């Protein structure tokens, strides 16, 4: 009964997550999940944790996971913050680092949770248009602001921003925080984590949902100057002191430590992406250069919404965005297993014929 809602809730426009339907024999290529299972070491660590210890609260600092992230990147542990998925980490970033007098800046075509957080926390923002090739124009961000955030590679386009451009942006924006959201970085872009040790205004966020196949575990983290990390901890401890449970902590720590498996599955996804792009282009699609585990493609003569619906009728699910109008012709297609990608191509051939 919405009459009991506050005025604030009435004004909220929530984020709409990717669909998770229960369709038999579905080829699910709509939510950028990794087609490969998690590290066996992560599964074993979680199985070992099952038992009497679950009656106890987890470590509120998630120390084992913080240490694993710090060791993986070679940064001090005080430069690491962990949370319940990178979405929660980003929520703390918006509240703890972006609530200032000036509007924050992010691309006009980007992760659609950013404007949702702005609405939730009352933050003004300016959406900066991408260029004609869907790339970020760094010079457009060199103006007064209350913070800057963008994914690299960008979503839903998959287009990466070179590390030199990121450093130029950070070095010339010393009065506010720059956040690089690296949810998909492990599939072909250059991480900015090393720059966090040089620039105190840079924060990098990552997730274990994509390249480490743990979307169902909900673990994310941020790396940056200890002062930025302290702000996030203050927000966390004013909201939920135990955001990660015992299974998540040990499973994520084990996944971070399993470098061989991580490299193997990332390489398999990248190889499948290369093959899928070639097949899509042969069917008349133009595909943006992607450094993510998905591609953004449009057909020369077919409407994006109609293609998405026709694929759904063949039990192949991809993501279509109706707005802004500039992306409406495109489909965002997650890279699946080779047999799932083959099923997509077969369905497209039948539809286009």
Q: Are residues 44 and 110 in the same domain?
A: yes
pLDDT in tens, 153-194: 999 999 999 999 999 999 999 999 999 999 999 999 999 999
Which one of 195, 229, 258 terminates a domain?
258
Q: Are residues 46 and 14 in the same domain?
A: no
Query: What do you get for the CA distance between the two ends of the chain, in Å?
Result: 49
For residues 144 and 126, is the Cβ–Cβ distance under 8 A? no
Which one of 258, 283, 305 terminates a domain?
258
pLDDT confidence of residue 20 = 81
Q: Residue 21 pLDDT more than 90?
A: no
pLDDT confidence of residue 3 = 84
Mean pLDDT across the chain: 96
Q: Are residues 15 and 139 in the same domain?
A: no
Q: Are residues 278 and 133 in the same domain?
A: no
Of the candidates 229, 210, 234, the one whose C-alpha atom is nearest the C-alpha of residue 220 is 210
Q: Residue 22 pLDDT more than 90?
A: no
Q: Are residues 44 and 32 in the same domain?
A: no
Q: Are residues 113 and 218 in the same domain?
A: yes
Q: Are residues 290 and 164 in the same domain?
A: no
Of the candidates 162, 147, 151, the one whose C-alpha atom is nearest the C-alpha of residue 210 is 151
Q: Are residues 164 and 237 in the same domain?
A: yes
Q: Residue 12 pLDDT more than 90?
A: no
pLDDT in tens, 201-259: 999 999 999 999 999 999 999 999 999 999 999 999 999 999 999 999 999 999 999 99
69: left (phi over 0), alpha (psi -120 to 50) or beta: alpha
Q: What are phi and psi of 244, to 5 degrees?
A: -115, 130
DSSP-assigned letters across all residues of 144-200: --S-EEEESS-TTT-----HHHHHHHHHT-TTS-EEEE-TTGGGTSPP-GGGGGT-T
- What's the pLDDT band for 1 if we cut at 50, 70, 90? low
3 state SS of 134: coil
* Domain at 110, CATH number: 3.40.640.10
In this prediction, residues 270-285 reach a mean pLDDT of 98
Q: Are residues 201 and 220 in the same domain?
A: yes
pLDDT confidence of residue 323 = 84
For residues 223 and 80, is the Cβ–Cβ distance under 8 A? yes
In this prediction, residues 22-37 reach a mean pLDDT of 92
pLDDT confidence of residue 11 = 85
Of the candidates 68, 2, 13, 8, the one whose C-alpha atom is nearest the C-alpha of residue 212 is 68
The percentage of residues in the chain with a pLDDT greater than 90, rounded to a whole number, is 91
The pair of structure tokens assigned to 186 is: 């492990």
Q: Residue 24 pLDDT more than 90?
A: no
CA–CA dist 174, 191 (Å, integer): 20
pLDDT confidence of residue 13 = 84
Q: Are residues 209 and 323 in the same domain?
A: no
| Residue 320 domain boundaries | 2-37+260-352
Q: Are residues 12 and 143 in the same domain?
A: no
Q: Are residues 86 and 133 in the same domain?
A: yes
pLDDT confidence of residue 171 = 98
For residues 229 and 201, is the Cβ–Cβ distance under 8 A? no
Which one of 204, 223, 258 terminates a domain?
258
CA–CA dist 205, 216 (Å, integer): 18
Domain count, the chain: 2
**The whole model's pTM is what?**
0.95
* Domain at 279, CATH number: 3.90.1150.10
Q: Residue 5 pLDDT more than 90?
A: no
Q: Residue 19 pLDDT more than 80?
A: no
In this prediction, residues 65-87 reach a mean pLDDT of 98
């Amino acid at each position: 009964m919405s009459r009991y809602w506050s005025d604030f809730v009435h004004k909220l426009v929530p984020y709409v997550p990717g669909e998770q339907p229960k369709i038999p024999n579905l080829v699910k290529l709509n939510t950028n999940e990794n087609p490969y299972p998690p590290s066996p070491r992560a599964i074993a660590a979680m199985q070992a944790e099952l038992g009497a210890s679950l009656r106890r609260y987890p470590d509120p600092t998630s120390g084992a996971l913080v240490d694993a992230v710090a060791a993986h990147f070679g940064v001090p542990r005080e430069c690491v913050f962990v949370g319940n998925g990178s979405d929660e980490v980003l929520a703390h970033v918006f509240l703890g680092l972006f609530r200032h007098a000036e509007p924050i800046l992010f691309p006009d075509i980007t992760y659609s949770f950013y404007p949702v957080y702005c609405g939730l926390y009352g933050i003004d923002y300016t959406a900066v248009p991408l260029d004609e090739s869907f790339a970020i124009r760094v010079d457009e961000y060199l103006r007064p602001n209350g913070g800057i955030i963008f994914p690299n590679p960008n979503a839903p386009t998959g287009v990466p921003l070179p590390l030199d451009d990121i450093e130029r942006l950070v070095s010339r924006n010393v009065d506010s925080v720059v956040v690089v959201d690296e949810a998909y970085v492990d599939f072909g872009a250059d991480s900015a984590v090393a720059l966090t040790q040089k620039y105190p205004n840079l924060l990098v966020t990552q997730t274990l949902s994509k390249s480490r196949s743990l979307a169902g575990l909900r673990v994310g983290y941020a790396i940056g100057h200890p002062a930025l990390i302290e702000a996030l901890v203050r927000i966390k401890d004013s909201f939920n002191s135990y955001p990660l449970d015992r299974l998540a902590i040990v499973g994520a720590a084990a996944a971070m430590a399993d470098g061989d498996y991580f490299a193997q599955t990332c390489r398999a996804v990248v190889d499948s992406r290369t093959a899928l792009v070639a097949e899509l282009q042969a069917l008349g699609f133009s595909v943006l250069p992607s450094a993510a585990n998905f591609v953004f493609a449009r057909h020369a003569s077919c409407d994006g919404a109609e293609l998405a619906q026709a694929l759904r009728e063949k039990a192949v699910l991809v993501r279509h965005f109706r707005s802004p109008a500039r992306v409406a012709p495109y489909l965002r297609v997650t890279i699946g297993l080779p047999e799932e990608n083959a099923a997509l191509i077969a369905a497209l051939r039948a539809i286009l014929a």
